[in-house]
A and B are shown apart, each in its own frame.
Chain A
Amino acid sequence: MAVAPQSRPLGVTRSPAAVPARSRRPFRDNPRLILASILLLAVAGVATLFFADRSSRLSPDFLTEFVLYALSVADLTLLVALGFVLARYIVKLLVERRRALPFARFRAKIVTLLLGMTLIPAVLVLFVGSELIRNSVERWFNAPMDEMLSSANQIAGDYYAERQRIVNDEAVRIARELAPLDLATPDLTAVRQVVDPKVAGQRVAMVEVYRVDPAGTPRPAVTLVVGAEAPGLGLGPSGYNRASADRLAERAAAGNVEPHPPEPVGTAGELIRGVAPVRGADGRVVGVVVASDHLTGGMAARSRRMTDAYEAYAQLRVLKRPLTGVYLSFFVMVTLMILVSSAWMGLYLAKRITRPVQALAAAAREIGAGHLDHRVERETADEFGSLVDAFNAMASELAGSRRKLEQSAVDLERKHAEVEARRRYIETILERIATGVVSVDADGRVTTVNSAASRLLGLDGRVAGEPAERVFSRSGLEPLLAVLENAGGSASDPSAHEIALARGDRELHLAAAATKLHGEGGQQEGTVLVFEDITPLIRAQKVAAWREVARRLAHEIKNPLTPIQLCAERLRRHFSGAPPATRGLVDECTGTIVGEVESLKALVDEFSQFARMPAPKRVPTDLHQLLTDALGLYNGLFQDVRITAEFGADLPAVRVDPGQIRRVIINLVDNAIEAMERRGAVSVGTSHDAPNQVVRITVADNGPGIPPSER
């Protein structure tokens, strides 16, 4: 299973965008190594069992010297390995729990369970098996066996000791008998006469007589002088070597009388030797007698077997504890192998089980953190692999959904921006248009009031949120409340009303319409009240009506004036020949008629000009002079009217139509005089508004003013 290196502790997740090169596979992910380890462990176990089966054939010394050492080393190694595995596991567990890593408790439970399932039976078996081994070893030794083997060994030993004593005694006896004899003489008949009867009488099987040469260095030299053996001894040339007898003689001649072991003679048995020095009259050792007794092969072998059996038994008893240790060590080693294997296997299984889940959890956290491109690498083809595949599929779908969602959010944001722009556009329009707009929500509270509405109705922005009924119940706004309450159900229903509101000292004419707003479900969402100031329109309509009236009146009046004037001139011409008095009267009357006709024409012209204002002809004009001339017309006309001029200083020349301005001033002054009923004061003033580059003309009177309905 490959691990993609990541900065995170759990390195099993990867980003499909960048998959780094695979690093060396760890042991736990290498099936070959795991298989090799299992095989090695199995071989070790089989070898242990094989060795244990054949341990009875090994010598106890080898078992206690070598095997116990090896087993103890193996036990300690396994114990250290077990301790290491457990300590590592405990430390890792503590670290994981301290870091609050996921699945630490789950892994601890799995490992503890597996360890417990193995440890408890293993320890129980260890205790029981140890006790069985100890009991079995104890059963090797019992009193009857002790008695039997000890007795057999005692018999064999006593037999050897008795034969040794006999041969020793015979050697001493021969040595005494040879003491008076000269062993250096060539004639050894006397010596043979002593030796041969001993051999012939079967007291000993073999006698060798040595002469001692004291001049030998460093030891005294010995020379065989007589050798005799019992007839039919049959040792043969290959079974008996006289050299051993020579060495015994040399040692005896040197005064060494230490005991010597029986000498094996091939398959013919053993020779039990007795050595005795032959001392001369002066007490010096002049010779050595080596007497030998022969134990047949069967007898010697049986005696040796009895002793060997006893020694083996005794050695087992002596080595009982180390031998018990050997078998216990076998047992402990197998137990430790099982424990180490189970501990490691538990950790391995726990990791194998929890690691994919940990990887899934880590990947889930990554995805939860918004890293939807993270994937979990599939490690196995089992159910965990299917789970990983399902998780990755889910992550892919999540990523796709998220991309769609992000696209939708982008679209939504774009639409929101468009709506916002449209809202700002509409708001701007609402703020800029002269039409007043007031919106009321479904609860009857004012939500928006545009600036035109505020200006027209005298409201400010603080009315937003107040009940519309209370807002429009104020003095002068009641008609709007009626409009609002009678709002139409649809935008196509204009239901516009022309209403007049008294706004201070003037009257405001509004065309108002209210429309109820409905949601997509048909529920009422509020009402929009729209109204427009139509006061200028009304005034224009009035002016237009008056203009029409004037035009028609002028037309009707002007039509008969020309005939009247012509008739008057005809009368003057007709009566030009009349008497002077008549002619004078006619002239006076016709002159009056013509004059009045001219006045009427002038009046008609005035009406005509009212009906259709001529285009202004602006020329640089001295405004003060113009005003002075216009006001000069009123000098002496009205006794109770005082007309004053209050001109501003430094008034620049302005480009105006002097005639029209003159008529405007005269009309305003005339209106003022008429409004004051020809009694009062009229003030005409000028001022220069330099910043705005405006010249202002003011005509004021102290009359009653213009009623609101006529403004």
Chain B
Amino acid sequence: MRTLLAAVGVTVLAAGTALAAADAIRVVSLVKDQRIFVSFTLESGVTEDLRAAIDSGLPTAISYDVELRREAAGWFDKTLQSVAVSAIVQYDNLTRRYRLTLTVDGLGEEPTITEDRETVRRWLTTFDRMPLFTTERLETNVEYYVRVRARSRPWITWFFWPWDRGSASGVAKFTLIR
């Protein structure tokens, strides 16, 4: 079956509380070869709080919950597939190098060492064409959307409400056409 380029995601901004004042994730989805590639960028980048956490040597992570969902009328939208992507960085103040790790659903690659802050920022906030989902079991001519929500760690927000983890989110809709 020939698979066509299906849709271009539309970014929908959603407010968060901890990552930054205008936390939003720009999401772009691309369907190709029965796979759904997702690109997303945390618009606010690395905040000062996160920067301080990184510079203190704390293992700092931004975890993204990427979900393929379908709208349901009169009820909660249905999550069809989901992937947890975590970008982890740990800074060594002695050698002044960053150790970058990326895990997808808990599976990590070999860490990357860098001394460049911009590289760290991109590592934490920008993800390009990640093949996260497949189009199997998806129906044609049906609108789906990819939702990405981000959470930072460690918690450096207000102390009394630990569930306020400052999530940011973004959505990209697409219609599967075969």
Answer whether residue A53 sits at the interface, using C-beta atoms and an 8 A cutoff: no
Instruction: Point out the residues of chain B lying under 8 angstroms from A311, CB to CB.
Output: 56-58, 93
Contact present for A307 and B94 (CB under 8 Å): yes
Contact present for B94 and A157 (CB under 8 Å): yes
Instruction: Point out the residues of chain A lying under 8 angstroms from B155, CB to CB.
Output: 64-65, 68, 322
* Interface-located stretch among B8-16, B25-33, B158-166: B158-166
* Interface-located stretch among A29-37, A323-331, A587-595, A654-662: A323-331
Instruction: Point out the residues of chain A lying under 8 angstroms from B59, CB to CB.
Output: 61
What's the least CB distance linking A156 to chain B, in Å? Answer: 6
A196 to B32 CA separation, bound complex (whole angstroms): 57
Instruction: Point out the residues of chain A lying under 8 angstroms from B97, CB to CB.
Output: 259, 261
What's the least CB distance linking A459 to chain B, in Å? Answer: 103
What's the least CB distance linking A135 to chain B, in Å? Answer: 15
Answer whether residue A1 sits at the interface, using C-beta atoms and an 8 A cutoff: no
Contact present for A64 and B154 (CB under 8 Å): yes
From the candidates A261, A307, A314, A328, name the one contacting B159 in the complex (CB within 8 A): A328
* Interface size bracket, A side: 35 or more
Instruction: Point out the residues of chain B lying under 8 angstroms from A323, CB to CB.
Output: 159
Closest residue of B by beta carbon distance from A137: B159
What's the least CB distance linking B157 to chain A, in Å? Answer: 7
Answer whether residue A574 sits at the interface, using C-beta atoms and an 8 A cutoff: no
Contact present for A304 and B94 (CB under 8 Å): yes
A304 to B94 CA separation, bound complex (whole angstroms): 7
Q: A69-B162, A259-B113, A314-B55 are in contact. Are A322 and B93 (CB under 8 A)?
A: no
Contact present for B95 and A68 (CB under 8 Å): no
Instruction: Point out the residues of chain B lying under 8 angstroms from A304, CB to CB.
Output: 94
Contact present for A314 and B113 (CB under 8 Å): no
From the candidates A259, A315, A321, name the one contacting B157 in the complex (CB within 8 A): A321
Answer whether residue B53 sits at the interface, using C-beta atoms and an 8 A cutoff: yes
Contact present for B96 and A161 (CB under 8 Å): yes
Instruction: Point out the residues of chain B lying under 8 angstroms from A314, CB to CB.
Output: 52, 55-57, 93
A304 to B92 CA separation, bound complex (whole angstroms): 10
What's the least CB distance linking A314 to chain B, in Å? Answer: 3
Contact present for A319 and B154 (CB under 8 Å): yes
Closest residue of B by beta carbon distance from A314: B56
From the candidates B57, B92, B113, B162, name the one contacting A68 in the complex (CB within 8 A): B162
Instruction: Point out the residues of chain A lying under 8 angstroms from B57, CB to CB.
Output: 307, 311, 314-315
Answer whether residue B140 sits at the interface, using C-beta atoms and an 8 A cutoff: no
A261 to B96 CA separation, bound complex (whole angstroms): 9
A675 to B8 CA separation, bound complex (whole angstroms): 160
A69 to B165 CA separation, bound complex (whole angstroms): 12
What's the least CB distance linking A612 to chain B, in Å? Answer: 134
Within 8 A of A (CB), among B74-100: 92-97, 99
Instruction: Point out the residues of chain A lying under 8 angstroms from B6, CB to CB.
Output: none
Contact present for A318 and B52 (CB under 8 Å): yes
Contact present for A261 and B92 (CB under 8 Å): yes
- Where chain A touches its partner, the secondary structure class is helix
Contact present for A65 and B154 (CB under 8 Å): yes
A153 to B57 CA separation, bound complex (whole angstroms): 12
A325 to B163 CA separation, bound complex (whole angstroms): 13
A321 to B18 CA separation, bound complex (whole angstroms): 13
Instruction: Point out the residues of chain A lying under 8 angstroms from B156, CB to CB.
Output: 318-319, 321-322
Answer whether residue B112 sits at the interface, using C-beta atoms and an 8 A cutoff: yes
A156 to B97 CA separation, bound complex (whole angstroms): 14
Instruction: Point out the residues of chain A lying under 8 angstroms from B55, CB to CB.
Output: 314
Answer whether residue B114 sits at the interface, using C-beta atoms and an 8 A cutoff: yes
Q: A258-B112, A261-B113, A262-B95 are in contact. Are A325 and B56 (CB under 8 A)?
A: no
Answer whether residue B128 sits at the interface, using C-beta atoms and an 8 A cutoff: no
Within 8 A of B (CB), among A302-341: 303-304, 307, 310-311, 314-315, 317-319, 321-326, 328-329
Closest residue of B by beta carbon distance from A272: B95
Instruction: Point out the residues of chain A lying under 8 angstroms from B71, CB to CB.
Output: none
Closest residue of B by beta carbon distance from A70: B162
A261 to B112 CA separation, bound complex (whole angstroms): 11
Within 8 A of A (CB), among B129-178: 153-163
A259 to B115 CA separation, bound complex (whole angstroms): 7
Instruction: Point out the residues of chain A lying under 8 angstroms from B115, CB to CB.
Output: 259
A323 to B153 CA separation, bound complex (whole angstroms): 14
Contact present for B95 and A310 (CB under 8 Å): no
Instruction: Point out the residues of chain B lying under 8 angstroms from A329, CB to CB.
Output: 160
What's the least CB distance linking A239 to chain B, in Å? Answer: 20
What's the least CB distance linking A167 to chain B, in Å? Answer: 13
Instruction: Point out the residues of chain A lying under 8 angstroms from B158, CB to CB.
Output: 321, 325
Within 8 A of B (CB), among A255-294: 258-262
What's the least CB distance linking A576 to chain B, in Å? Answer: 171
Closest residue of A by beta carbon distance from B58: A315
Closest residue of A by beta carbon distance from B50: A318
A117 to B13 CA separation, bound complex (whole angstroms): 51
Contact present for B93 and A318 (CB under 8 Å): no
Instruction: Point out the residues of chain B lying under 8 angstroms from A303, CB to CB.
Output: 94
Answer whether residue A495 sits at the interface, using C-beta atoms and an 8 A cutoff: no
A351 to B93 CA separation, bound complex (whole angstroms): 63
Instruction: Point out the residues of chain B lying under 8 angstroms from A153, CB to CB.
Output: 93-94
Instruction: Point out the residues of chain B lying under 8 angstroms from A262, CB to CB.
Output: 95
Q: A68-B162, A72-B161, A304-B94 are in contact. Are A322 and B154 (CB under 8 A)?
A: yes
7 closest A-B pairs (Cβ-Cβ)?
A: A325-B159, A314-B56, A311-B57, A307-B94, A315-B56, A321-B159, A318-B53
Binding site for B on A (CB under 8 A): 61, 64-65, 68-69, 72, 153, 156-157, 160-161, 164, 258-262, 303-304, 307, 310-311, 314-315, 317-319, 321-326, 328-329
A–B Cβ pairs within 8 angstroms, 22 of them: A61-B59, A61-B154, A72-B160, A72-B163, A153-B94, A260-B113, A261-B113, A307-B57, A307-B94, A311-B57, A311-B58, A314-B57, A317-B52, A318-B53, A318-B58, A319-B154, A319-B156, A322-B155, A322-B162, A323-B159, A325-B159, A326-B159
